[in-house]
Amino acid sequence: MPDYESIERKWQVRWSDRKLNESERDERPKFMIIFAYPGVTGYLHVGHMRGYTYADAIGRYKRMTGYNVLFPVGTHATGNGAISLAARIAAGDKDIMDYMVRNGCPPEKLEGELRDPLNVVWFFNGVYQEEYWKRFGFLADWRRFTCTLYPDYSKFMQWQFRKLNEAGLLIQKPYFAPACLSCGPVAVDPSETDLSKGGNAETQEFTLLKFRSGDEILVAATLRPETVYGQVCFWVNPEVEYLKVRNGGETWIVSPQAYEKLSHQKDGLESIGAVKGSDLLGRTCIAPMIHREIPVLPAAFCDPDVGTGMVTSVPSDAPDDWMSLTKLKEDHSYMERYGIAKETIDAVVPISIISMKGYGDFPAQDIVERMGIEEADDPRLEEAKKQVYKDGYHLGVMKDICGEFAGMRVEEAKERMKQAMIDSGEADVFFDLSEEVVCRCGCKVVIKRIDDQWFIDYGNEDLTQRTSDHCRTMTINPVEYYNNVHAVLKWFRERACVRLGNWLGTKFPFDERWIIEAISDSTLYPVYYLISMYANDGRIEPEQMTEAFFDYAILGKGDAEKVSGECGIDTSLLNEIRAEVLYWYPLDMNLGGKEHMTVHFPAFLKNHVAILPPEMWPKGITVNWYITGKKSKISKSKGGAQPIPGAAKKFGADGMRLYYAHIASPFADVEWDEDNVMSYSQRIDRIASFIGDLSSYRGSATEMDAWLVSRMNTHVSTIRSAMERYDLRQMATVAYFEIFNDLKWYQRRGGENPETISECLRTWITAMMPVTPHMAEEMWEAAGFDGLVSEAQLPEAGERSVPAEYGEDLIREVMSDAQQIIKVTGIEPKRMVLYTAPSWKIGILGKALELQEKGELSIPSLTKACMSDPDIKVHGKAASDMARKTAEDMMRLPAGSMRPMFESDERAHLAAAAGFLSKEMGLEAEVYSSDEEGRYDPGDKARMAVPGRPAIYLE
RNA sequence: GCGGGGGUAGCCAAGCCUGGCCAAAGGCGCAGGACUUAGGAUCCUGUCCUCAGCGGUUCGAGGGUUCAAAUCCCUUCCCCCGCACCA
């Protein structure tokens, strides 16, 4: 295995010595690119390098096409990831210890510094920069590195929130959020940063329905308030001890668990007694909305942990209710135990309330029968319920029985009916999680009301409109996102932007109890890369970074002298920072994974539009999809991940870079496959060794030189137009496959002119530099060029020579045709005779081209033109057939594409290549024109020759 | 559901916006050959069917538009992703 690492280090040091990564303002056009900085959540895996690599490769391409490039990097450490990681390290968690060590963490750090959350962040800041980004040869401006937990970054963040407030975009209102009672707010998401259980839970909004029964109110929770017209009875669990709860002037009856949950969402609840479920039986209650008296009946399936522990029964549309009711009617023994008369239960009959396509009067009955469910405890009832809910929601229409809501679609009726009942005091709302969620600390997670939650008002219409308009002017890849981003912007509404609890981040400037949350502090930060350098090297201190300072530096507001006096930063330095901002901003490209499409990118865009002037709004976004693993093999949370440094050692950083750039479109997920990576790695080696061979050629010029030069010009212009669209993949196809193949062909055809080769290598190696910079440097050196290819410029594309390219295409086609004949016939020919088209056929082609130019080409017009030419006419039917076929072909193909066939001297070209063909195919090749008298033509093949397709005879 | 993406030859994957040298790039795999067996080698050739190359049938399925469709339109079947406080 080659020692990639030391080769890579060698060149990285050279780049660094030349300060290639340090971007300074100058006269060139600028290009600023970033990737969305990663969250500090532990070690990254090989998949993460995909997007980062795109950023470096695009930056390098821009460098070699005349741009002054700035590529800054940073990390996002806001949140509780580092806190929980440090806590697990401190607790000596076996899995975490193994994971850290396996990824290369020195064990002694686990015993000491990494027990502290901030040290965890600093540690990974080092890992990301040294082991990932530098290791991959990124030309990032390390001087500007920043992290959301740096004190200077916090100053910037507080300034940003002041600006948001000035723009009227900070609002306060109540909010229902998942929270752990001891740790505070937690994030419920599948990555389970905060959780030990329940990451897939959703927050559901229940409607609490109030059933008056005497002086008390039985409360049921439902997700389907639109079904109230179908209520026929009320279930309570006779074995549960319910609580009587005072809520204002009302007395509610709910399960103790529901009381606990409600108490986090409502003020002034008071438990004033208990009542056994069985004691509620025999009562009746008044159903909300329909004001009908329904019986309270016993049901063992009422779970006190779900909703309020009591259920209103709508058998028509709820499969559970349908089955339970059916069973209870069949077997009266359960009811009898509680003294419920058979007539009471028999009187409970479903009411049809919703009509929906594909279902009869009672959807619940239909689905239960369709699925063959026969028992009340069948687990498939859950699925049945989901199906009916889903279909009901989208297909259902309220029936006539539903009063003023009759005829309304369920989708609409649901909201309206809920609101009507809330307005009349018959309902309330309640939030709950769809499954049990447990915090890392072991406590249960509940939904808690927060009264004074701050939001950023991303729903602001003017802001949304201006952002949307701006997006049309941006370069957004892929085009699907360019089209869709407007819908996303519209959908993106108020966002809770601060939180309480165990959380690392910047204090909210208007109320320091709150910490700015993780999405909200990572939106405007690209502009901060233009300032971070001065804080990093101590030229400015965090205390000096006042509102006036940022106002001046970023917005150009105020007077330098005055601002200087206010914040204590030299006027000249202030002006330098201002000049940095003016020179580098706006950001040209923000590159991020597809997870950013619905949250980060809209927030990034809207913050820029809200705070900065239009000339500083971003110009580009590129979204990249993932590298995925078989059975989550590369996922960092599951263990078994391929550590990045190990992979780099095995395949070489450049092998991986080429793999990322070329394996698939950036806009598709790819499964990590070591064999693929290896094959890219080997391709680079192959190219390197081939370039070594080429460099030693000392021959003289041949007709192949013009061909090669033309091909290279074609390639350079393809590369340039591909990169206009940031299409790294097409660029890589050309640079690593097509150019390689062409040089192989050149070599095979006897090309050996050192001047041409050298000129060509200069272009080729430069073209490979963006994707595989280290190996490009090796090749550059091996080819004898001076300096660093990382500093070289890509030559402009020169002229193409269509005839030169056509001639070689012809030869390859002849070879391929001959091979096919050999394969099909199974003969081993000793002699190959080629016959080019006779002049009269070329004449027909010429006439066709003429007609086409005049726009008069058709089969009859060409035939007529041919028949008026005596030289052609003598060939009779063969001539009219040829004319017809030529006209057909030409009308089918793009105009002018057959011109080279007419203009090229096929006979001369093939004759010149006869020696080559003989050698390659191991036979004697000879070439005739079909016009030639006395040609050797025992198979009478010459008559088949047409322009572009010589006839072949093998013997 | 809402929003979005996708179905291409044994597999992976381009092409689709801007219809036409598209039987459809490239890679992998497979087969044959060369050269060699210090190697995860390299180099040629082939890899839908048919066949002395020029023909035929293909790009989830079915219709349509067009001189011409993998590409545009309609219908239909099947897969995947996001839906929020998680960057």
Q: How far apart are CA A306 and CA A292, in angstroms?
A: 25
What are the tens digits of pLDDT across the range A369-414? 877 778 887 777 777 777 777 777 766 778 888 888 887 777 778 8
Query: For chain A, what's the residue count?
Result: 955
Average pLDDT, rounded, for chain A: 87
Q: How far is CA A701 from CA A192, A697, A742, A745, A909, in A?
A: 67, 11, 17, 15, 17
Q: Is the CB of A48 within 7 Å of strand B? A: no
For helices A754-768 and A773-782, angle between their N-to-C axes, nearest 10 degrees: 160
* Residues (461-480, chain A) with CB within 7 Å of strand B atoms: 479-480
Answer whether A467's CB lies under 8 Å from A189's CB: no
Q: Is the CB of A799 within 7 Å of strand B? A: no
Q: Which amino acid belongs to residue A824?
A: V
The residue written with tokens 């698939």 in the block is: A664
For helices A704-724 and A754-768, angle between their N-to-C axes, nearest 10 degrees: 10
Check residue A491 and give its pLDDT.
82
User: Closest nucleotide to residue A390 (Cα to C1')?
Assistant: B1
Question: Mean pLDDT, to the nearest integer, of A722-734?
Answer: 88
Alpha-carbon dihedral angle through residues A686, A688, A690, A691, given to the nearest 10 degrees: 160
Residue A489 burial (CB count, 10 A):
21
Answer whether A190's CB lies under 8 Å from A200's CB: yes
- Provide the token pair at A874: 């003598």
Check residue A187 and give its pLDDT.
67
Question: Mean pLDDT, to the nearest integer, of A542-550?
Answer: 96
| Least confident piece of the model among A341-350, A353-362, A590-599 | A353-362
DSSP A1: -
User: Closest nucleotide to residue A896 (Cα to C1')?
Assistant: B21
- Tell whether the model's pLDDT for residue A156 goes beyond 80: yes
β-pairing, A68-70 with A74-75?
A: unpaired
Q: How far apart are CA A393 and CA A916, in angstroms?
A: 74
The residue written with tokens 């994030």 in the block is: A187
Q: How confident is the model at residue A639 (pLDDT cuts 50, 70, 90)?
A: very low
Q: Is the CB of A484 within 7 Å of strand B? A: yes
Check residue A1 and give its pLDDT.
64
DSSP codes of every residue in A694-750: HHT------THHHHHHHHHHHHHHHHHHHHHTT-HHHHHHIIIIIHHHHHHHHHHTT
Q: Is the CB of A583 within 7 Å of strand B? A: no
Q: Which amino acid belongs to residue A65?
A: T
A85: Cβ–Cβ under 8 A, 6 or more apart, which residues? A41, A42, A96, A117, A120
Check residue A395 and give its pLDDT.
67
A737: Cβ–Cβ under 8 A, 6 or more apart, which residues? none
Question: Mean pLDDT, to the nearest integer, of A266-279?
Answer: 91
Q: How confident is the model at residue A610 (pLDDT cuts 50, 70, 90)?
A: very high
* Residues (495-514, chain A) with CB within 7 Å of strand B atoms: 495-497, 499
DSSP codes of every residue in A522-560: SSSGGGGGGTHHHHHTTSS-GGG--HHHHHHHHH--S-H
Q: How far apart are CA A187 and CA A179, in angstroms?
A: 8
CA end-to-end distance (rounded Å), chain A: 49
- Tell whether the model's pLDDT for residue A186 goes beyond 60: yes
- Tell whether the model's pLDDT for residue A632 goes beyond 60: no
- Tell whether the model's pLDDT for residue A190 goes beyond 60: no
Choice between A459 and A788, residue whose per-residue pLDDT is larger:
A788
Q: Is the CB of A356 within 7 Å of strand B? A: no
- Tell whether the model's pLDDT for residue A934 goes beyond 50: yes
Q: Is the CB of A854 within 7 Å of strand B? A: no
What are the tens digits of pLDDT across the range A319-336? 888 888 888 888 888 888
What are the tens digits of pLDDT across the range A195-244? 677 766 777 788 899 999 989 999 999 888 888 999 999 999 999 999 99
- As ranges, strand B nucleotides with an atom below 7 A of a protein CB are 1-6, 12-15, 17, 20-21, 25-29, 40-47, 51-54, 67-68, 81-87
What are the tens digits of pLDDT across the range A666-718? 888 887 888 888 889 989 998 998 998 888 888 888 888 988 998 899 899 88
Q: Is the CB of A944 within 7 Å of strand B? A: yes
Residue A787 burial (CB count, 10 A):
12
Give me the phi and psi of A806, to 5 degrees please.
Answer: -65, -40
* Residues (699-728, chain A) with CB within 7 Å of strand B atoms: none
User: Closest nucleotide to residue A674 (Cα to C1')?
Assistant: B40
Q: Is the CB of A388 within 7 Å of strand B? A: no
Q: Model pTM?
A: 0.85
Task: Report the SS3 class of residue A886.
Answer: helix
- Tell whether the model's pLDDT for residue A635 goes beyond 80: no
| Percentages (nearest 5) of helix, strand, coil residues in chain A | 50, 15, 35
Answer whether A148's CB lies under 8 Å from A424's CB: no
Q: Is the CB of A820 within 7 Å of strand B? A: yes
Q: How confident is the model at residue A189 (pLDDT cuts 50, 70, 90)?
A: low
- Tell whether the model's pLDDT for residue A654 goes beyond 90: yes
Q: How far apart are CA A680 and CA A687, in angstroms?
A: 11
Predicted-complex ipTM score: 0.89
What are the tens digits of pLDDT across the range A297-317? 988 888 898 889 999 999 888
Check residue A194 and give its pLDDT.
63
Q: How confident is the model at residue A58 (pLDDT cuts 50, 70, 90)?
A: very high
User: Closest nucleotide to residue A815 (Cα to C1')?
Assistant: B53
The residue written with tokens 């006027």 in the block is: A571
What are the tens digits of pLDDT across the range A822-872? 877 877 788 888 888 888 888 888 888 888 777 777 777 888 888 888 888
Check residue A488 and give its pLDDT.
86
* Residues (282-321, chain A) with CB within 7 Å of strand B atoms: none
Upstream peptide bond of A29 is cis (omega within 30 degrees of 0): no
What are the tens digits of pLDDT across the range A552-576? 999 999 999 999 999 999 999 999 9
Q: Which amino acid belongs to residue A341?
A: A
Question: Mean pLDDT, to the nearest integer, of A593-604?
Answer: 88
Q: Is the CB of A648 within 7 Å of strand B? A: no
What are A946's strand-pairing partners?
Answer: A949
